[in-house]
Amino acid sequence: MRFIWPFYSLQPPFAISKSWVISRDAALTSMAVFCIGLSQAVWLWRFPASGMLETHNEYLTSATRLLCGAVLIMMLGSLHHQISHKVKVFAKGLLIFGFFYTSSIGLYLHAQSPDMRLQINTVSTITAYIYMLQSLLTVYVIHKTSWRYKYVAITIVILLSLWVIFLTETRATLLSYPLFLLLFFCRRHHLTLKTILLSGLIVVVMATAASHLFSTATARLTDIINEISNYQKGNGDTSLGSRISMWKAGIHTMLQSPGGQSTDVRFANANPIYQQP
């Protein structure tokens, strides 16, 4: 029940608002989040658990949070034009402070265990994904400000983000983060001189840092080619090989039951894929 109360707490603003205007981006984002949460809720309804399974508990939790998040996004989108300028400035400042606070905690944790990958609860990949999203949001918020030296601030955020992401040694994030930044700046500025200079600086810093300061992360990046080669030779006992095996198992089970399946049926359909040499 603790996940349900946000629905009721978010209803009054809609009831008392006289002019409910929502932006197109907020509506599309809310609809996308709502559809994802609804798909999980429908799956739980169609395939009830025969016992206490962790999968069903996780689906229930994520579905409830996604549905609540969709309502929250819709509400914030409708109240965007009614929020005062001071409140917006405070919210942006709080978000930027949160990014630097998170970064400092990450650097502190690495200083405590310098020989280990930066992680939360032994999970480095999810840590890197969440941090990358926070970094991209911070870059977007700073870009929307009218600060005189906002590009200097954006550069600091990007360089600090790269430092922390290198410490997680998560290859997917190391490869995707620069691409997301390039897409963002190309879409906003159409490759102006500032964008080219900023991109060049990031590339130089990444290359220098990778070769001198983050040798372990660099080794993991170069191992991608070796892992692909080993997987083609039948050796899937690698990080990348296990992911490819999971993708193949997921596609196989989806083709077996396009309309959905219970946890037991899914495991039975995927098990032959796992047993293949």
Q: Can you give the C-alpha Rg of the chain in angstroms?
A: 22
Q: What percent of the chain has pLDDT above 70?
A: 64
Which residue's entry shows tokens 């796992």? Answer: 274
Greatest mean pLDDT among 7-11, 176-180, 181-185, 239-243: 176-180
Ranking 72-86, 140-154, 253-267 by mean pLDDT, the lowest is 253-267
Q: How far apart are CA 264 and CA 271, in angstroms?
A: 11
Token pair of 231, please? Answer: 């997987």
Q: Do residues 256 and 269 make contact, with C-beta atoms less than 8 angstroms apart? A: yes
Average pLDDT over residues 71-79: 80
Give the residue-averaged pLDDT of 184-212. 67
**What 3-state DSSP class applies to 144?**
coil
Nearest Cα neighbor of 21 from 83, 87, 84 is 83
Question: Please, which contacts does 48-56 make with residues 24 or more away whose CB atoms are closer than 8 Å?
Answer: 49/263, 50/264, 53/263, 55/263, 56/263
pLDDT at 101: 93
Question: Where is average pLDDT lowest: 124-133, 164-173, 224-233?
Answer: 224-233
Pick from 55-64, 75-84, 147-156, 268-277 the range whose average pLDDT is largest: 147-156
| This model's pTM is above 0.75 | no
Grade residue 17 by pLDDT with cuts at 50, 70 and 90: very low
Evaluate if residue 126 carries a pLDDT over 60.
Answer: yes
Sequence letter at residue 207: A
Residue 244 clears pLDDT 80, i.e. is over it? no
CA 158 to each of CA 29, 202, 254: distance values in angstroms, whole numbers, following the listed order: 25, 8, 39
Label residues 100-115 b or e (16+ Cβ within 10 Å = b): eebbeebeeebeeeee
How far is residue 6's CA from residue 74's CA, in Å, rounded to a whole number?
13
What pLDDT is recorded for position 230? 66
DSSP string, 256-276: H-TT---HHHHHHHHHHHHH-
Q: Write out the two tokens for 30.
A: 């809310």
**pLDDT for residue 15:** 43
pLDDT of 43 > 50? The answer is: yes
Q: Which helix (H) or strand (E) holds 205?
A: helix 193-212
The pLDDT of residue 10 is: 45
Which pLDDT score, from 0 to 100, does residue 273 have?
65
Q: Where are the beta strands (DSSP E) in the chain?
A: none
d(CA 184, CA 105): 27
Cα separation, 260 vs 176, whole angstroms? 31
The rounded distance, in Å, linking the Cα atoms of 259 and 173 is 32
What are the domain boundaries of the chain? 22-83, 84-188, 217-275
Place of tokens 């939790």: 61
* Rounded CA separation 30/67 (Å): 9
What is the 8-class DSSP label of residue 149? T
Gap between the Cα atoms of 73 and 77, Å rounded: 6
Determine the 3-state secondary structure of 120 from DSSP: strand
